[in-house]
Amino acid sequence: MRTAVWGESFDLSRRATGVVTWRGDTPVASLTFALPEGFIGEQLHVFERFIRHRWDHGKSKPTWVAYERSSTRSYNHAEIQLALVGTLLKLCFEFDVTVAGFAPSTLKKELAGHGHASKAQMVAAARERFPDLEVTDDNVADALAAGLVFLARAEFVEVT
């Protein structure tokens, strides 16, 4: 049986990270977070502060986190994307949060019905399925799909 838990799902990227907040199995809020241009160390510092602030330094942490695994196109892109994943995994370990990453094709299949969906198809599928959620771009659509895959595979128990 699933209990009312909250989670967050991410589409990590060097330019714009999509974030979706979940209450139970319902997406309730979304945003796109942009990292500053420049040195990777500064970008990781800003990303970690962003997450710590969202999780209120552990006072209001999510029960679970899901993210899209990296798909590298270039060395620079891979470097920041893998570093962001590492930072997210470190924080999930620190705050004892269940975390899972999923392949881009798995997310595309879950939301749009096939593993080769375009960015536009992902956004359209997200808006159609969740008309009350603000889906501003493909980053939010991918984050939404990561949460859907996590919830489809997760089993929660009632805590009394």
**pLDDT tens-digit readout, 31-75:** 999 999 888 899 999 999 999 999 987 678 999 999 999 776 666
Would you put residue 44 in left (φ > 0), alpha (ψ -120 to 50) or beta? Answer: alpha
Specify the pTM: 0.90
CB-based contact 17:11 (threshold 8 Å) = yes
DSSP state of 58: G
CATH class of 6-153: alpha beta
Per-residue tokens: 100: 């899972």
Q: Where do the domains of the chain lie?
A: 6-153
Look at residue 56 and give its three-state secondary structure: helix
pLDDT values of the chain reduced to their tens digit, one per residue, 160 residues = 345 489 999 999 878 899 999 999 999 999 999 999 888 899 999 999 999 999 987 678 999 999 999 776 666 667 888 999 999 999 999 999 999 999 999 999 999 999 999 999 999 999 999 999 999 999 999 999 999 999 999 875 554 4
What are the strands, taking DSSP E only, across the chain? 6-11, 16-23, 26-34, 64-68, 98-102
